[in-house]
């Protein structure tokens, strides 16, 4: 393959001039430009990816930031992002931030260096200040979790309403002692889901009891198990549990079984997300379905619209209550 | 921040000369080099990531190729890769190939363009010919699945021996009608695990029966369910099942429960991988533990050794039989 040096030699100009032509600089004389383009054509020169970045200012790569790939909730969203992005000629790179600021910086710099065109962030732990700084100059879309104070467009569901529907379902089944297994309330979604939980209880004149609310540190199975262990250890046991993710709910279910109790006869259980595993448990898990694939597809569409200079607006998608065996 | 143009102006040289200095070209006169370095220092110029790539030929980015992020088997390996890579100053980008050759090409080109330093491939569906071509010039490590005919170093377990141990465990429990729920045998691991299954049966004079062997198209929960449905539909039912992944085994377990049968009383079940889900099922799943974290850490170590010019060799890690409630 021909090099940029060979192109410069053939056109009788410097490498910097070839680079300027590739960059569409206006400072290159039309005559020179034609000479360089002729040389490029004759030598069948193909700019490397680096060259392409410089020339078109587009890498056709989108970064997708996730806190952890271990959480299957993100897989389905990513499938939606990918399908849309690929159809429109974009590829994605997955960046696991693991809540590590140093890694955030590296991924942000990939966009600053034009090695990637933009970022779709699904990371609730991301530094909001830095994200908003970056968004002032580069395309960013927030997906699922978002910063409500900033100006960055997002696609999400109405978490408060979804949680309200989940808890109302338990209340309608006759439950009054309903526990909330929530994640860390420094995350917006966790605060909103708690609001929905409290709203439903208040609407039916059921007191909000602190002893029925448990906040986990992380969002793994074990966190769900630990939460349920605490809730079962107290004298006043709940008869139903709303866990804010299916992974937490599956840990809760495991602990109920381990304690010799049955779902839903002894304790009813509802999760959140509708990950594929939620249908594989025994009994199957009642849950709030998030339109994960659609959410990802929408985020990708918004990103590409933004890259094409179109104006975009935040989108709130519909959730759905999926009643199965655990309630 | 200063630009390369400003550096060139200050040093009284062309941009191409500055670039040559950054690239450590030998064609730059020592006097010119000193002038440029002085200008870089005075202007506090920091080359962009692009500049750094050109200068050091190292991006400090490793690509990790996975077939699908929906499979939790890969998460734990990736954690191992990341921990080692980060410790040694490398970052990783996850590339989901989704068995799509066009995407493989894009990721391969990132390495050819020096935007990434090397590839750790975990993708069994990858084009082996193209991977070997790339490996002739760029650092590649295979992890878990590998091409046994090529010259690319790998880290894996002994799949045949591991499957042999799984099936022998079922035989020792008195089972003679042991089904194999295997994935597509175009993958090396699937062929090896079948060999291990047959070896164990033959050692105990149990005939290998075609009707007890089921090959799935994909490796999702639903594939396990379908496989078990077929196996239960026949008159001669197995009393035990060896599924070559935990995800398949969890689908198998679901189908057994759906059919009104019990694990392990009616049908014993053993999986493979020891993903975290495997301990959340009811009953918990007996499985073959793959040292996933260690496998990832080893792959990253091999990659970085290779990048540093050290010679590396393929590694086979130990597996372990984890006996839990399903057998």
Strands (DSSP E) contained in B72-216 are 91-96, 118-121, 140-143, 154-157, 178-182, 213-215
Phi-psi region of B37 (alpha: psi -120 to 50; beta: other; left: phi over 0): alpha
Question: B91: which chain A residues are within 8 Å (Cβ-Cβ)?
Answer: 103, 106
| Structure token pair of residue B16 | 């191409």
Do the Cβ atoms of B90 and B60 come closer than 8 Å?
yes
> B87-101, pLDDT tens digit by residue?
887 888 888 887 777
How far does the CA of residue A200 sit from the closest CA of chain B (Å)?
A: 30
Give yes or no for A57 touching B (CB within 8 A).
no
pLDDT of residue B56: 54
Q: Do A94 and B96 touch (CB under 8 A)?
A: yes
Cα distances from B255 to residues A46, A281, B48, B231, in angstroms, run: 54, 11, 55, 10
- Out of A90-104, A253-267, B287-301, which region has the weakest mean confidence (pLDDT)? A90-104
Question: A68: which chain B residues are within 8 Å (Cβ-Cβ)?
Answer: 75
- Per-residue pLDDT band for A119 (boundaries 50, 70, 90) equals very high
Q: To 10 degrees, the CA torsion angle through B262, B264, B268, B273?
A: 110
How far apart (Å, rounded) are the C-alpha atoms in residues B322 and B274? 8
How far does the CA of residue A178 sit from the closest CA of chain B (Å)?
A: 23
Closest partner residue to B276 (CB to CB) among A16, A86, A221 is A221
Total structural domains within chain B: 3
Question: A98: which chain B residues are within 8 Å (Cβ-Cβ)?
Answer: 82
How far does the CA of residue A192 sit from the closest CA of chain B (Å)?
A: 27
> B215-256, pLDDT tens digit by residue?
999 889 999 999 999 999 999 999 999 999 999 999 999 999
- pTM for the model: 0.80
Task: State the residue for tokens 């910063």.
Answer: A147
Do the Cβ atoms of A189 and A177 come closer than 8 Å?
no
How far apart (Å, rounded) are the C-alpha atoms in residues A117 and A119? 7
| Structure token pair of residue A116 | 């990637």
> B268-278, pLDDT tens digit by residue?
999 999 998 89
Q: Residue B2: pLDDT above 80?
A: no
Residues A197, A262, single domain; the answer is yes
Chain A residue closest to B71 (CA)?
A72
Q: Do A78 and B91 touch (CB under 8 A)?
A: no
In this structure, is residue A324 part of a structural domain? no
Residues A173, A280, single domain; the answer is yes
Q: Residue A152: pLDDT above 90?
A: yes
Numbers of helices and strands, H then E, in chain A? 12, 12
Residues B269, B172, single domain; the answer is yes
Give yes or no for B98 touching A (CB within 8 A).
yes
Residues A169, A277, single domain; the answer is yes
pLDDT of residue B196: 98
CATH code of the domain in which A30 resides: 1.10.260.40
Question: A220: which chain B residues are within 8 Å (Cβ-Cβ)?
Answer: 276
> A194-253, pLDDT tens digit by residue?
999 999 999 999 999 999 999 999 889 999 999 999 999 999 999 999 999 999 999 999
Do the Cβ atoms of B39 and B45 come closer than 8 Å?
yes
- Percent of chain A scored above 90 by pLDDT? 62
> B94-121, pLDDT tens digit by residue?
888 877 777 788 888 888 877 789 999 9
Last residue of a domain, one of A21, A41, A56: A56
Give yes or no for A87 touching B (CB within 8 A).
no
User: What number of residues does chain A have?
Assistant: 327
How far does the CA of residue A69 sit from the closest CA of chain B (Å)?
A: 6
- Measured in whole angstroms, the distance separating CA A121 from the mean position of its chain's CA atoms is 6
What is the rounded radius of gyration, in angstroms, for the C-alpha atoms of chain A? 26
Residues B300, B198, single domain; the answer is no
Give yes or no for B18 touching A (CB within 8 A).
no
Question: A74: which chain B residues are within 8 Å (Cβ-Cβ)?
Answer: 69
A310: which residues sit within 8 A by CB, 6+ positions away?
A: none
Residues B67, B112, single domain; the answer is yes
In this structure, is residue A91 part of a structural domain? yes
How high does pLDDT run on average in chain B?
A: 90
Nearest to A326 by CA among A234, A260, A243, A223: A243
In this structure, is residue A325 part of a structural domain? no
Q: Do A49 and B110 touch (CB under 8 A)?
A: yes
Count CB neighbours of B83 within 10 A: 15
Chain A residue closest to B106 (CA)?
A91
- What is the ipTM metric for this complex? 0.76
In this structure, is residue B66 part of a structural domain? yes
A206: which residues sit within 8 A by CB, 6+ positions away?
A: A171, A176, A178
In this structure, is residue B92 part of a structural domain? yes
How far does the CA of residue B128 sit from the closest CA of chain A (Å)?
A: 22
Question: A75: which chain B residues are within 8 Å (Cβ-Cβ)?
Answer: 68-70
Give yes or no for B105 touching A (CB within 8 A).
no
pLDDT of residue A50: 47
> B4-37, pLDDT tens digit by residue?
888 889 999 988 888 778 766 667 888 888 899 8
B5-25: buried (b, 16+ CB within 10 Å) or exposed (e) per residue?
eebbebbebebbbbbbbbeee
How far apart (Å, rounded) are the C-alpha atoms in residues A21 and A43? 16
Do the Cβ atoms of B66 and B103 come closer than 8 Å?
no
Which of the two residues, B239 and A75, has the higher pLDDT score?
A: B239
Select the residue from A1, A16, A57, A116 to test the B interface by mutation, using most B Cβ atoms within 10 A: A16
User: DSSP state, B277?
Assistant: G
Residues B43, B70, single domain; the answer is no
In this structure, is residue A49 part of a structural domain? yes
- Out of A15-29, A39-53, B154-168, which region has the weakest mean confidence (pLDDT)? A39-53
268-287 in chain A: CB under 8 A from chain B:
276-277, 279-282
How far does the CA of residue B103 sit from the closest CA of chain A (Å)?
A: 8
Phi and psi at residue A282, to the nearest 5°: -130, 100
| Structure token pair of residue B4 | 């390369």
- Percent of chain B scored above 90 by pLDDT? 62
Residues B153, B301, single domain; the answer is yes
How far apart (Å, rounded) are the C-alpha atoms in residues B275 and B273? 6
How far apart (Å, rounded) are the C-alpha atoms in residues B312 and B140? 11
How far does the CA of residue A119 sit from the closest CA of chain B (Å)?
A: 14
In this structure, is residue B141 part of a structural domain? yes
Nearest to B59 by CA among B104, B133, B118, B106: B118
Average pLDDT (A150-158) is 93
Question: B123: which chain A residues are within 8 Å (Cβ-Cβ)?
Answer: none
Nearest to A318 by CA among A285, A275, A287, A289: A289
B237: which residues sit within 8 A by CB, 6+ positions away?
A: B177, B231, B267
Respond yes or no on whether the N-terminal peptide bond of residue B283 is cis (omega within 30° of 0): yes
Alpha helix positions (H), chain A: 4-11, 15-22, 30-42, 49-56, 72-87, 101-112, 128-135, 159-172, 188-203, 221-233, 246-258, 292-307
CATH code of the domain in which A225 resides: 3.40.50.2300
Select the residue from A73, A112, A115, A271 to test the B interface by mutation, using most B Cβ atoms within 10 A: A115
pLDDT of residue B151: 87
Residues B281, B166, single domain; the answer is yes
Residues B266, B174, single domain; the answer is yes
Q: Which range marks the domain in which residue B33 is found?
A: 4-56
Do the Cβ atoms of A19 and A50 come closer than 8 Å?
no
β-strand pairing of A140-143 with A154-157: parallel
Closest partner residue to A106 (CB to CB) among B72, B91, B112 is B91
How far does the CA of residue A251 sit from the closest CA of chain B (Å)?
A: 7
Average pLDDT (A36-55) is 68
Q: Residue A53: pLDDT above 50?
A: no
Give yes or no for A221 touching B (CB within 8 A).
yes
Q: Do B72 and A70 touch (CB under 8 A)?
A: yes
pLDDT of residue B57: 61
Which of the two residues, A7 and B266, has the higher pLDDT score?
A: B266
Select the residue from A5, A22, A280 to test the B interface by mutation, using most B Cβ atoms within 10 A: A280
Closest partner residue to B49 (CB to CB) among A93, A115, A251 is A115
How far apart (Å, rounded) are the C-alpha atoms in residues A164 and B201? 55
- Percent of chain B scored above 70 by pLDDT? 95
Residues A121, A212, single domain; the answer is no
Give the helix/strand (H/E) hosting A316.
Answer: strand A315-317
Which of the two residues, A150 and A131, has the higher pLDDT score?
A: A131
131-160 in chain A: CB under 8 A from chain B:
none
- Per-residue pLDDT band for A51 (boundaries 50, 70, 90) equals very low
How high does pLDDT run on average in chain A?
A: 90
pLDDT of residue B118: 95
pLDDT of residue A58: 74
**Largest pairwise CA distance in chain B:** 88
How far apart (Å, rounded) are the C-alpha atoms in residues B115 and A59? 11
294-323 in chain A: CB under 8 A from chain B:
none
In this structure, is residue A194 part of a structural domain? yes
Which of the two residues, A212 and B61, has the higher pLDDT score?
A: A212
pLDDT of residue A305: 95
Residues B273, B303, single domain; the answer is no
């Amino acid at each position: 393959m021909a090099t940029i040096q060979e192109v410069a030699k053939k056109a009788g100009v410097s490498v910097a001039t070839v680079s300027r032509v590739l960059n569409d600089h206006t400072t290159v004389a039309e005559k020179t430009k034609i000479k360089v383009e002729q040389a490029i054509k004759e030598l069948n020169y193909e700019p490397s990816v680096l060259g392409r970045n410089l020339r078109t200012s587009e890498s056709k790569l989108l970064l997708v930031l996730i806190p952890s790939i271990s959480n299957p909730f993100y897989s389905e969203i990513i499938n939606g992002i990918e399908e849309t992005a690929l159809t429109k000629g974009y590829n994605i790179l997955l960046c696991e931030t693991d809540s590590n600021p140093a890694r955030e910086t590296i991924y942000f710099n990939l966009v600053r260096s034009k090695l990637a065109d933009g970022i779709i962030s699904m990371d609730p732990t991301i530094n909001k200040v830095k994200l908003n700084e970056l968004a002032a100059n580069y395309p960013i879309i927030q997906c699922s979790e978002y910063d409500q104070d900033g100006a960055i467009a997002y696609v999400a569901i109405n978490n408060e309403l979804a949680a309200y529907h989940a808890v109302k379902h338990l209340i309608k089944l006759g439950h009054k002692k309903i526990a909330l297994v929530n994640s860390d309330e420094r995350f917006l979604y966790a605060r909103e889901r708690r609001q929905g939980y409290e709203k439903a209880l208040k609407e039916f004149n059921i007191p909000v009891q602190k002893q029925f609310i448990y906040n986990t540190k992380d969002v793994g199975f074990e966190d769900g198990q630990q939460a349920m262990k605490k809730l079962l250890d107290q004298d006043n046991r709940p008869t139903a549990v709303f866990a804010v993710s299916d992974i937490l709910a599956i840990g809760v279910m495991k602990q109920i079984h381990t304690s010799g109790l049955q779902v839903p006869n002894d304790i009813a259980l509802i999760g959140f997300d509708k990950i594929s595993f939620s249908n594989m448990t025994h009994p199957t898990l009642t849950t709030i379905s998030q339109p994960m694939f659609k959410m990802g597809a929408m985020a990708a569409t918004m990103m590409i619209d933004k890259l094409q200079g179109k104006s975009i607006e935040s989108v709130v998608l519909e959730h759905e209550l999926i009643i199965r065996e655990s309630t």
